[in-house]
């Protein structure tokens, strides 16, 4: 039972790659003023994160019985997305249409949801024994 | 329209399917009560005890035993394999043994007492 499992690390790596590709695509499309494509690329990026999180989370659940109510995946997404986005700006890769303020506001709002998610996890953790959900102990 | 025999068989299968869910723990515990076992041995004894009605996949057993080990219900010691590397021989811990005893007393023994025994056998 691992908090940082192989599936979580795989998710973090793929998310980092997606984010770099998304940032690159977003910057290019904004510079070219192709606004409609910005929505398309954002939806594709979000969908890819969702599918990857769902698949790696499901695989993780097979061998890792630690109950976390999905919090580890949410926190990982927050950290990787935040770090990659901050680095993108620090390295000066952003387009003229992007400001770091958007990243900061997103992280601020997201951190609120992250806290709510953590509280939910703490509430649901009462239904576990040594980190294993009671309904998942006996098969 | 289904014949009574076909309906009987279908209902029985559906009932057994539901009944078997949640049974694996009991079969694992009973097999380990017999003595320490490695995973393949455990798989064989579950099939033997249940007269072939319960089949547990090896992966499923490994997963379950890891969980039980984490919850301190089973422990293991290394033992000789037939030809290959050492195997993990699982056994019940005192917690696992007392848990099995309590479960049997509360949920199984009543089937051996009147009037249930008579109802079951007649």
Report how far apart, in Å, the C-alpha atoms of A40 and of each of A16, A54, A94, B104 are.
19, 21, 19, 59
Q: What is the pLDDT along chain B (122 residues), one digit of tens a residue?
A: 678 889 999 999 998 888 888 888 999 999 999 999 999 999 999 999 989 888 888 998 999 999 999 999 999 998 876 677 788 999 999 999 999 999 999 999 988 888 888 888 88
For the stretch A101-128, pLDDT in tens is 999 999 999 999 999 999 999 999 999 9
> Is B16 contained in some domain?
no
Partner residue facing A132 (CB), from B21, B22, B71: B71
- A15 close to A76: Cβ distance less than 8 angstroms: yes
Partner residue facing B22 (CB), from A65, A129, A139: A139
Regions of chain A short of the pLDDT cut 50: none
What distance in Å separates the CA atoms of residue A77 and residue A60, rounded to the nearest whole number? Answer: 16
Tokens of B21: 């869910």
Rg, Å, chain B Cα set:
18
Give the DSSP H/E element, type plus range, for residue B120.
helix B116-121
- Model pLDDT, residue B22: 81
SS3 for A5?
A: coil
> Is B50 contained in some domain?
yes
- Model pLDDT, residue A128: 93
SS3 for A55?
A: helix
* Probe site for chain B from A1, A5, A139 (most B CB atoms < 10 A): A139
Can you give the residue ranges of every domain in chain A? 6-136
Q: β-strand A132-133 against B87-92: which pairing, if any?
A: unpaired
What is the span of the domain harbouring residue B76? 26-121
Interchain pair A132, B70: CB under 8 A? yes
Give the number of domains in chain B. 1
- Model pLDDT, residue A2: 81
Interchain pair A137, B67: CB under 8 A? yes
- Which residues of chain B are within 8 Å of residue A138 when distances are taken between CB atoms? 22, 24-25
Q: Would you list the DSSP string of A63-82?
A: H--B--TTHHHHHHHHHHHH
- B39 close to B80: Cβ distance less than 8 angstroms: no
Q: What's the ipTM?
A: 0.76
Tokens of B113: 């007492």
> Is B37 contained in some domain?
yes
Interchain pair B63, A138: CB under 8 A? no
Interchain pair B21, A63: CB under 8 A? no
CATH of the domain at B37: 1.10.10.10
Helices (runs of H) and strands (runs of E) counted in chain B: 6, 2
Q: β-strand B74-79 against A132-133: which pairing, if any?
A: unpaired
* Probe site for chain A from B18, B70, B96, B100 (most A CB atoms < 10 A): B70
Nearest of B96, B90, B67, B62 to residue B77 by alpha carbon: B90
Interchain pair B22, A138: CB under 8 A? yes
> Is B115 contained in some domain?
yes
- Model pLDDT, residue B27: 93
- Model pLDDT, residue A1: 67
SS3 for B91?
A: strand
Q: Would you list the DSSP string of A90-101?
A: HTT---TT--HH
- B55 close to B47: Cβ distance less than 8 angstroms: yes
> Is B1 contained in some domain?
no
A132's CB contacts (< 8 A; 6+ apart) are: A1, A65, A66, A67, B67, B70, B71
Residue B8, Cβ density class (10 Å: 0-12 exposed, 13-18 middle, ≥19 buried): exposed
* Probe site for chain A from B22, B62, B63, B102 (most A CB atoms < 10 A): B63
Interchain pair A65, B63: CB under 8 A? yes
- Model pLDDT, residue A136: 87
């Amino acid at each position: 039972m691992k908090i940082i499992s192989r599936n979580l690390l795989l998710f973090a790596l793929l998310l980092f790659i997606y984010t770099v590709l998304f940032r690159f695509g977003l910057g290019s499309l904004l510079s070219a003023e192709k606004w409609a494509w910005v929505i398309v690329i954002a939806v594709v990026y979000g969908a890819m994160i969702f599918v990857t999180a769902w698949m790696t989370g499901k695989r993780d659940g097979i061998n890792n019985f630690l109950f976390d109510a999905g919090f580890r995946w949410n926190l990982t997404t927050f950290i990787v997305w935040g770090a990659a986005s901050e680095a993108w700006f620090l390295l000066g890769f952003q387009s003229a249409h992007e400001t770091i303020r958007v990243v900061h506001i997103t992280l601020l709002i997201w951190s609120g949801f992250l806290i709510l998610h953590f509280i939910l996890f703490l509430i649901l953790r009462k239904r576990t024994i040594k980190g294993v959900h009671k309904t998942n102990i006996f098969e | 329209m289904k014949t009574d025999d076909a309906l009987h068989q279908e209902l029985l299968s559906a009932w057994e399917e539901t009944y078997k869910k949640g049974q694996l723990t009991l079969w694992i515990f009973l097999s380990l009560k017999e003595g320490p076992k490695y995973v393949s041995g455990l798989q064989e004894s579950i099939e033997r005890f249940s007269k072939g009605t319960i089949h547990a996949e090896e992966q499923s057993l490994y997963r379950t035993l890891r969980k039980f080990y984490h919850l301190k219900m089973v422990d293991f010691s290394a033992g000789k394999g037939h030809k290959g590397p050492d195997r993990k021989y699982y056994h019940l811990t005192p917690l696992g043994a007392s848990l099995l005893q309590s479960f049997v007393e509360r949920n199984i023994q009543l089937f051996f007492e009147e009037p249930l025994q008579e109802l079951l056998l007649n």
